[in-house]
Structure 1
Amino acid sequence: MARKVTIEELRQMAEDARESIWAQAKEYGREPKIYLHWSAGHYETVFDDYHVNITGNGEIYVTGDLDEIKAHTWRRNTGAVGISLCCCYNATSADLGPEPPTAAQIEAMAQAIVAVADGLWLTIDEAHVLTHGEAADNEDGLWTHDSYGPKTTVERWDLEYLGTDESPKYNPWATDGSRGGDVLRGKANWYRNEE
């Protein structure tokens, strides 16, 4: 059952789960990960596949404990936390559909990244915080599976772009910081430095 939480409650949940999540990740010879998603659903529909769901108005919901192994990122779920924006119903790489990411969701996701990363003692970089699209293309160098992301088969391309001025269009080869993951990590690091 989903329950609404504050950023501080989310940070505490991550702290409480730190030892367990690190132990899970170490079984696979790596550090914990945070994977960022969109649900491809509606603004108010929360899914149990993700630890954290952020609704259209930026409210944060959790579905269980953060060290629970959920089905959010293929072959990468152990020792990882999945955070999802509830949005992008009927999205395509050319159009984010009638329910694109909202400004409130994007800012809440950046703050949620900080809360979870702080609780788990993680650096906010592409080695630890990836969109599903980046993980699908093994951009962190793990190679736990054949690539299936925006640079290859485009089976998963969650958050490749956000539909904002900072991240206006689908371009998985962009190096100017306009990819969705770059924008979200940048915002998260800004929030972390403001604290």
Structure 2
Amino acid sequence: MAATIYLHWTATGYDWIRPGHYHAIISGDGRVHRLHATSVDLPAHTWARNSNAVALSCACMGGQPDPWTLPPTPAQLMSLCAETASIAASWGWTAADITVQRVMTHAEAASNKDGRMMHDNYGPVVWGGTGERWDLLQLAKNGPIDGGEQLRARIRALMDGHSVSDAVSDRLGFKGETTIQARSEALTVTIDGEGRSWAPATDLLERYGIPYAWNASERQIMIGALDVAPTYRDDSVQASVGWPLFTMTMQSGNAPVILTGIVRPSESGDRAWCRVLEFAEEFGISIHYNPFTLLERRGG
């Protein structure tokens, strides 16, 4: 059975970011927090539909007593569609593949709108359900009840316009190279337009003896170390940088995402690059400034 992408809201405030529930959660400002590799199944996002599925969710609709006091923001909906389009494109899907059979809101899944499973209808009351789940039935208060169709139309438009993470316009720019010290040896890094240092992720992993495996089809680096605790940073790399993205994940369990980086071409083929400071902070590497230096991996 083909993979399915399910679209949700969390019924919380705009800043609710917790691993274990969804593969990615989008905060109110539209920032995508990638929490788990899309290659793994999570156990409890869409009843009876958690296998071979990816769950994306907007942190919103937690207003009490009226959930619409915290509605999905325009930035969230834009990012939800862009993230879906990016994942779909990475799987080789085209705009024509964005159908209710492959991309569904939880409201549609609960009401079995794809006809896949004849389970109890726990979806919107207006569709004959019990009303337990109605995620993205509407995109605005008192709006039309075709939220899923609206989102799929936006996703198709993004894919037709090639405006997903592989877009070449408005890419994050790089202005030169320099050398820093990492474990008392020289490491060549590239500086972006905002003064941040980037390096090939595998160079950093090898420098610190961290085992890994590269999954090219998923654009994923899987880490074998067990002593890493992802921080789910608020400033993680976003698709707006304009480069194809990769994720670095733990190799065990539900594959939590450690960090997100970019894929850049080179003479030897595409390489995965990450921000050096973020890598150091995620892996417990001591840092000195003036000059910027990476020391040993001490943890904490």
TM category, shorter: 0.7 to 0.9
1:61 equivalent in alignment to 2:33: yes
List structure 1 segments (4+ residues) > 3 angstroms apart after TM superposition. Answer: none
Higher RCO structure (Cα 8 Å, ≥6 apart)? 1
More strand by share: 2
Aligned equivalents of 2:61, 2:41: Cα separation in 1: 24
Give RMSD over aligned pairs.
1.7
Counterpart pick for 2:123 among 142, 146, 149: 149
2:111 alignment counterpart: 137
1:3 alignment counterpart: none
- TM superposition shift of 1:67: 2.0
1:33 equivalent in alignment to 2:10: no
- Given the superposition, is the C-alpha separation of residues 130 and 91 from structure 1 closer, same or farther in structure 2, using an over 3 Å criterion? farther
Could you tell me which runs of 5 or more consecutive residues in structure 1 were left unpaired when the two chains were aligned.
1-29, 172-178
TM-score by length of 1: 0.74
- TM superposition shift of 1:162: 0.8
Aligned equivalents of 1:142, 1:79: Cα separation in 2: 14
2:87 alignment counterpart: 116
- TM superposition shift of 1:96: 4.0
The CA deviation string for residues 147-183 of structure 1, in whole angstroms up to 9 with x for no partner, is: 211111111000000117xxx4364xxxxxxx11111
Aligned equivalents of 1:129, 1:60: Cα separation in 2: 18
Aligned to 2:88, the other structure's residue is in SS state: helix
- TM superposition shift of 1:90: 3.1
Matches within 5 A, 1:179-194: 179-194=146-161
Aligned to 2:57, the other structure's residue is in SS state: strand
Letter in 1 for 2:49: R
1:98 equivalent in alignment to 2:72: no
Letter in 2 for 1:188: I
More helix by share: 1
The CA deviation string for residues 98-119 of structure 1, in whole angstroms up to 9 with x for no partner, is: 2110010011111011011112
1:51 equivalent in alignment to 2:23: yes
CA contact (8 A) 2:24 2:57 kept: yes
Letter in 1 for 2:61: C
CA contact (8 A) 1:39 1:47 kept: no
Percent identity of equivalent pairs:
36
1:80 equivalent in alignment to 2:53: yes
CA contact (8 A) 2:3 2:102 kept: yes
- Given the superposition, is the C-alpha separation of residues 91 and 112 from structure 1 closer, same or farther in structure 2, using an over 3 Å criterion? farther
2:246 alignment counterpart: none
Decide which moves more: 147-156 or 72-81: 147-156
Aligned equivalents of 1:46, 1:140: Cα separation in 2: 29
